A and B are shown apart, each in its own frame.
Chain A
Amino acid sequence: MSANEFSPPIADGPIVVRRHRLSTRLWHWTNVVVFLVMLMSGLMIFNAHPRLYWGDYGANPDPAWLQIGAEQERGYLRVGTLQVDTTGVLGRWQNAEGAWQNRAFPHWVTIPSSYNLALSRRWHLTFGWLFAGGLALYALISLVNGHLRRDLLPKRAELAPSHLLGDIAAHARLKFPTGEAARHYNVLQKLAYLSVLAVLLPVLVLTGLTMSPTMVAAWPWLIDLFGGRQSARSIHFIAAFAMVAFIFVHLAMVVLAGPINEVRSMITGRYRLPQEKTR
C-alpha cells in the first residue's frame, strides 16, 4: 500500500509509534558502553604486538600483512607493501605530557591510556563476557519475539534489484522515508542491522574465542573456521574496524534523520513518524 493513500490528516498532529522494544533499547545502550570498552582495551592489547598475520603462527621473524611501528622518529602504518607516514597519530605520537611515544595506537583511543597489557586484558576479557552474553541473549530474544523475522529480515520484494537501487538512490539524495513507510526499517537499514547482529558481532566473539588456547582445545573447529589462530586475530581486528565504520555511518544517519526524534526513540521507545514533505 502506498503511504499517500493512508496519510493521516496533519491537523491531528504527528503520529507517534512504539518503535523500539525494551530489549532493543537496553541492549543498544549497554553496547554503547561495552563496545567502546572492548574497542579501546582491544587497541591497547594490539599495542603489545602491533603486527597481523595470516595462518596459524606469526611472530616477529614471520611476514606480517599489517604493521604499525616507528622508524627513525617517524610513525608508519604498513599494509602489504604500502606504507603510510602516520607520525603523530599511529606508531609515534605525543602523550598528554607532550613526550614522544613509540607505540601503535595513541593514548586517547586506548584503555588504559598508558601502556599496560595486563590491565587492558582485564578490561577486555571481563567486558567480553558482557559483550558475548548480551549478544547471545539479544539474538535469542529477537528470535523468540519475532523481532528478527518481522523487523530485520528483508522481504523478498525488498531484495529485488529495482527496489534496492531505488533505496540506495534515495539514501544518496538523503531522502528518508516518511509517513507510513517510516514505520518500518527500510531495506538498507535491515541489511545493515542484520549484518551487524548476525555477522560482525558473532564474528568478533568467535574470533576472540579462537585466540584462547583453552577454548580451541575444547572447540578445535574454531581454528579451521577462521583458517588459524593468527588469521582469527586478523579477522578480529578487521571486524572491529568494520564495526567502527558502521557506527560512524549509523551516527551520521541519526543526525541526518533527526537526532532528537531518533535518540528519543531509542531511550523511550516512542518515535514520531516523519511527515510527508509533498504537501
Chain B
Amino acid sequence: MTTLLSRRRLITGAALTGSAMALSGCDALGQSPAFRQFLSGGEWLSYRIQRFIVGDALAREYPPEALSPTFRMNGNTRPESAEWERYAASGFSDYRLRIDGLVARPQSISLTELRALPARTQITRHDCVEGWSAIGKWTGAQLGPLLERAGLAPNARYIVFHCADDFRGTPYYESIDLVEAFHPQTILAYDMNDGDLPMGHGAPLRLRVERQLGYKHAKFVMRIEAVESLERIGQGRGGFWEDAGAYEWYAGI
C-alpha cells in the first residue's frame, strides 16, 4: 500500500511539476522571437493552401429567412473625427470617397455617384475572430470596377482602407490583396438589411470582404489607397489589429 501511495504521489507530483513547467514554458516560448517566427508559419501555410483550394469561389449566400434577428455591433460604433462628424451632420450628402495612391486617375466620389455604379446585394455570414457569427444583407458598389475606373498602376499590390474611427488616437485601417479586392463579393456597402447602413455598422461605407474574418471588414471608410508594400502604413503589418494585437494579416481562418 505504501509503495502504491508513493508511486501515485510520485506520478501526480511529476505530472503537476511537468504541467507547471510546460505552462510557463509555453508562455516563455510565446514571447521568444524565434518561436513566434515558427508560429507565423501557420499563417503562411493557411494563406498558401487556402488560396490554392478556394480559387474564385464565392462565400455562401443565405436566403432572407436566415438573417440574424439582431446583428451584433462591434468595434467602434461612432467615429470621433471632425471630418466624419461634418459629413454625418450633412447626412453624408457632401461625403466623398477618395481613391488614390498607385492609380492613374485619383477619384473623389459622392455616395450618389457610388450608388449609380455596378452594385451587388448579398446575404452573408459575418464571422468574428472571437468566434461569433451574424448573418446580414449588404448592398454596395463592387470594389473591382471602382479600382478599374481609377486605373491601378502595374506595381500596385495591396488596397488599403483608411477609416474615420480610431482607438485611442490610432486610426483604424485595413488592407487586402488584389485577389480579394477583385473578388465579386468584395463590395463597399452603403445599405444593410434593406436600409441605409447604420452608424454602428460603419456609415456611410463599409468594406465587405466575405471570405475573411470580421476585423478585415473596415467600417467608416474614408479613403482607399493602392500601394506596393504595406511597410509604410501604420506599423507595417497591414491593419490596426495586426499592428496592435498581432492578429494575422491573412484572416481566411
Contacts and interface: CB of A to CB of B under 8 A. Distances in A.
Given A113-B23, A125-B253, A61 B70 contact: yes
Given A113-B27, A125-B43, A126-B41, A214 B131 contact: no
A243 interface: no
A220 interface: yes
Given A119-B246, A212-B252, A229-B125, A220 B42 contact: no
Given A117-B245, A217-B211, A49 B131 contact: yes
Interface residues of A, number: 48
Interface string A57-85: 11111100000000000000000000000
Interface stretch (B47-55, B150-158, B220-228): B47-55
Contacts of A111: 23, 26-27, 30
B93 to A, nearest CB: 32
Nearest to B45: A129
Interface in B110-133: 125, 127-133
B125 A212 contact: no
A40 interface: yes
A85 B11 CA distance: 31
Contacts of B135: 56-57
A62 B68 contact: yes
B28 to A, nearest CB: 10
Contacts, number: 152
Given A56-B135, A125-B43, A213-B210, A218 B248 contact: no
Given A211-B127, A213-B59, A217-B59, A123 B50 contact: no
Given A214-B50, A229-B125, A58 B133 contact: yes
B108 interface: no
Interface of B: 11, 19, 22-24, 26-27, 30, 36, 38-43, 45-46, 50-51, 53-55, 57-60, 62, 66, 68-72, 125, 127-135, 210-213, 241, 245-248, 252-253
16 contacts: A49-B132, A57-B125, A57-B133, A59-B134, A60-B72, A113-B24, A113-B26, A116-B30, A125-B42, A125-B248, A129-B42, A129-B46, A213-B252, A215-B253, A218-B53, A229-B125
Given A49-B128, A212-B50, A230-B132, 14 more contacts: A48-B131, A60-B72, A62-B68, A111-B23, A122-B246, A125-B46, A126-B41, A126-B43, A129-B46, A213-B210, A214-B50, A217-B58, A218-B50, A255-B11
Interface of A: 36-37, 40, 45-46, 48-49, 51, 56-62, 108, 111-114, 116-119, 121-123, 125-129, 211-220, 223, 229-230, 233, 255, 259
